[in-house]
């Protein structure tokens, strides 16, 4: 899936979270948290997850 706002948010990413429907955090909380943590570590280094 392409990001139509890539020129405004070049550092953003898309993550597919299987079986998440209306509200990702409520439907697949652990998968959402893992995706966010992975993104933050890649953008800011491992110290962010300490």
Q: What is the pLDDT of residue 34?
A: 92
- Domain ranges, residue 38: 20-50
Residue 45 placed within a domain: yes
| pLDDT at site 3 | 64
Among candidate residues 20, 42, 48, the one with its CA nearest the CA of residue 32: 20
Task: Residue 41: count other Cβ atoms within 10 Å of its Cβ.
Answer: 13
47 in any annotated domain: yes
> How much is the pLDDT for 50?
57
1 inside domain = no
Residue-by-residue pLDDT tens, the chain, 50 positions: 566 776 787 777 888 888 888 888 888 899 999 999 998 898 888 877 65
Residue 10 lies in a domain: no
Instruction: Supply the pTM of this predicted model.
Output: 0.65
In a domain, 13, yes or no: no
The count of domains in the chain is 1
């Amino acid at each position: 899936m392409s990001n139509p706002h890539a020129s405004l948010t070049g550092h953003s990413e898309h993550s597919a979270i299987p079986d998440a429907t209306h509200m990702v955090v409520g439907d697949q909380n652990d998968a959402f948290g893992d995706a966010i943590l992975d993104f933050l570590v890649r953008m800011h280094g491992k110290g962010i997850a300490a």
